[in-house]
């Protein structure tokens, strides 16, 4: 069974940092691009970042470029999102998703990030 | 970069059918999209991908009641024989130049 499990969310002050993880199982992790998508309270889905299967190519939404870094460790079947210089508007549930040619075909359960003083 | 436009809300009666629309912006009318369902308090769930030709492939376990179609730049998700568990938010997704884009979502109420 394909499974994605996020962790690492929590309460952080503005300007602080958090590192999210997404543990993958049930498929050949290195064969798939992966992405992070977030959802602010009461709002819609918002793409954050994507990474190729090898990890060599990364892509970011303008809203997080220069502050967030996506990476992966294919030996550990784990996806990461390093979030620095956090802002109140980064408050959201963060989902990891597996990418195929047709879109995001598998989602994790999400981890909540709250940025507040 | 493509823009996806969805109606904010829709409603239909239990046992009836409903057709949700996702409209692609100019210049992207042949793009593939994906449909996702998000039930209250849950993570999104992939439903299907819908090609510019109108053909679609559903995800594992998606009921036969769900189908896709297209007309020009419009992409449709039709749900037949509506059930109470179909009450959810529905999002379309596409991508271009390694940027992924989501529509604003349609909140479906089952009456």
Q: Among all residues of chain A, which has the CA nearest to that of B106?
A: A44
Q: Using CA atoms, how far apart are residues B4 and B23, in angstroms rounded to an integer?
A: 6
> Looking at residue B34, what is its pLDDT?
96
> Looking at residue B96, what is its pLDDT?
86
Shortest distance between the Cα of B34 and any Cα of chain A, in A, equals 6
For the purposes of burial, counting CB atoms within 10 Å of the CB of A84, is it exposed (0-12), middle (13-18) or buried (19 or more)? middle
Predicted confidence (pLDDT) per residue in A34-57, tens digit: 999 999 999 999 999 999 999 999
Q: Among all residues of chain B, which has the CA nearest to that of A62?
A: B99
Q: Among all residues of chain A, which has the CA nearest to that of B60?
A: A105
**A-chain residues near B89 (CB < 8 A):** 44
Q: Which of A59, A95, A110 has its CB closest to that of B98?
A: A59
Predicted confidence (pLDDT) per residue in A11-25, tens digit: 999 999 999 999 999
Asked whether the beta carbons of B60 and B66 are under 8 A apart, the reply is no
Shortest distance between the Cα of B82 and any Cα of chain A, in A, equals 23
Asked whether the beta carbons of B70 and B23 are under 8 A apart, the reply is no
Q: Using CA atoms, how far apart are residues A45 and B1, in angstroms rounded to an integer?
A: 17
Q: Chain B neighbours among A 50-69 (CB < 8 Å)? A: 50, 57, 59, 61
What is the pLDDT of chain B when averaged over all its residues? Answer: 94
Predicted confidence (pLDDT) per residue in A83-104, tens digit: 999 999 999 999 999 998 778 9
Q: Based on C-alpha coordinates, what's the Rg of chain A?
A: 13
For residue B20, give every residue at least 6 positions away whose Cβ sits within 8 Å of its Cβ, in sequence order, or none. Answer: B6, B7, B10, B76, B77, B78, B79, B90, B106, B108
Predicted confidence (pLDDT) per residue in B8-18, tens digit: 999 999 999 99
């Amino acid at each position: 069974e394909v499974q994605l499990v996020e962790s690492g969310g929590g309460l952080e002050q503005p300007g602080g940092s958090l590192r999210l993880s997404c543990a993958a199982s049930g498929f050949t992790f290195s064969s798939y691009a992966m992405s992070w998508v977030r959802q602010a309270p009461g709002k819609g889905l918002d793409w954050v970042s994507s990474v190729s299967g090898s990890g060599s190519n990364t892509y970011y939404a303008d809203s997080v470029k220069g502050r967030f870094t996506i990476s992966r460790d294919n030996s550990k079947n784990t996806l990461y999102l390093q979030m620095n210089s956090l802002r109140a508007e980064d408050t959201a549930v963060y989902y990891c998703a597996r990418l195929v040619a047709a879109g995001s075909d598998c989602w994790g359960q999400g981890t909540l990030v709250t940025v507040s003083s | 970069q493509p823009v996806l436009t969805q109606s904010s809300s829709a409603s239909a009666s239990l046992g009836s059918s409903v057709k949700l629309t996702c409209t692609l912006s100019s210049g992207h009318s042949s793009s593939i999209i994906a449909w996702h369902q998000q039930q209250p308090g849950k993570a999104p769930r992939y439903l299907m991908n819908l090609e510019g030709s109108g053909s679609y492939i559903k995800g594992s376990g998606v009921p036969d009641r769900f189908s896709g179609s297209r007309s020009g730049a419009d992409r449709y998700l039709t749900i037949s024989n509506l059930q109470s568990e179909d009450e959810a938010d529905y999002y379309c997704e596409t991508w271009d130049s390694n940027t992924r884009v989501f529509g604003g979502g349609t909140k479906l109420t089952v009456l």
